Amino acid sequence: MATTVASRALLVARRSISEKRLSKVASVELTLWRDDVDLRRVVVAASQRHNARTRLYLRVEHDDVIGFGEVAPQPFALNGDPSVDDVIAELEAFTLPQVLATFTDEGAVPSWIRVARFAGPRAASPVAVALVEMALLDRELRADGLDIATVWPRRFRTPSLATVSLLEPDGPWEVAGAARVRVKTAPGPVAAASLERLSQLDVPVLVDFNCSASEDDQVLDQLEQLLGVAAVVAVEQPYAPGNVIDHARLAAQLSVPLSLDEGVRSVRDLEQIVRYEAASFVCVKPARAGGLANARTMVARAMELDLQPYLGGFFESAYARRVHRLLAENCVREPSDVAPVETVDGGESELSHLDDGFGFVPSPALLARATVITTRP
């Protein structure tokens, strides 16, 4: 009899705990939006035309406290980066269910610093995790009544990096306020009109091949042409991601430093770059690195290795760009992708300002324009 009573008591206790957990989980809501925008200024790269972008927004709400995240994946998979459809599939099949499973098991929202461990081996996984991490950090700060300066005190006035293209001589160039300009290019002679425009820039330029070169002479010949009209600070990513051997050989021949972008995804990549002397600059993109925490760790490690890191982006809205600026001003000296990206309808400027968290969130007007993909649970 005593055993039966004890068993019943244990069952009731377990049921009570389970109900409490379910109650907490029921108060957690994950909402994912998709916003397709046309960029005001088209940028032509070696393998794609940046004229539109999809921004994904995630809201995490728990105990009446919210947090927002954003990533802006490319329209199609390229050079190791996933497409927007890949990222959405990853979120729906793996990342968001992992977050909800953690809620269920622990009865609490996981801390943002844990989310990087949710990443799997798929190319879309770091981007999906980066989206969740940003939202959880925003919410955690707000739940604790803190602002981002508590986590990232301002240490630098990080200059901005503008992006233009040598591949479209008539396209508009907007470089006002930029301390450095990334110029998209591809192998072959540069048009006279592009050279003329390049000569008008009064700031250093970063020549970005976006993995389009196949021979050293393609880079060396074009660099010789450009050095006569512009102050070239570095050549960025001529060869495929991970190809440190060819980059090291080229770096030894260049009269300016080499930078890697698509080939920079982890601390191990940084260590390989230094081991082979493949580059002097590295572009660290939070979405590609798997989030803000990973990006900050990579920037710190790059500096330890005597590399010069700068923060890159994927044409995000004003929301993510301002979050990235907050991160950059904590840890990055070099000009970075932290300036606003203008769209045709101007919707990227719609932010609501708050006193805690990041200090701002996507406005109701911006989210009303976007399409809800999923709401969980």
For the stretch 48-98, pLDDT in tens is 999 999 999 999 999 999 999 999 999 999 999 999 999 999 999 999 999
Q: What is the largest CA-CA distance in the chain?
A: 95
Which three-class secondary structure state does DSSP give residue 130?
helix
Domain assignment present for 191 = yes
Do 355 and 147 form a contact (C-beta atoms < 8 A)? yes
Same domain, 106 and 176: no
Instruction: Please tell me whether residues 253 and 203 are part of one structural domain.
Output: yes
| 105 and 203, same domain (yes or no) | no
Tell me which residue of 255, 249, 217 sits closest to 235, measured CA to CA: 255
Q: In the structure, what pLDDT confidence band is assigned to residue 377 with cuts at 50, 70 and 90?
A: confident
Tokens of 220: 């060396």
Burial of residue 278, with CB atoms counted within 10 A of its CB: 0-12 exposed, 13-18 middle, 19 or more buried: buried
**Residue 376 contacts residue 100 (beta carbons within 8 Å):** yes
307: CATH: 3.20.20.120
pLDDT tens for each residue of 18-45: 444 444 444 789 999 999 999 999 999 9
Amino acid at 29: E
Q: Would you call 185 exposed, middle or buried from its count of C-beta atoms within 10 A (0-12, 13-18, 19+)? A: buried
Pair (110, 181) in one structural domain: no
Write the CB contacts of 235 (distance below 8 Å, at least 6 apart in sequence).
206, 207, 209, 219, 223, 254, 256, 257, 258, 259
Condensed to tens digits (0 to 9), the pLDDT of residues 305-315 reads 999 999 999 99
Query: Which residue range(s) make up the domain with 367?
Result: 29-149+361-376
* CA 49 – CA 330 distance, rounded (Å): 32
Question: Is the same domain home to 57 and 124?
Answer: yes
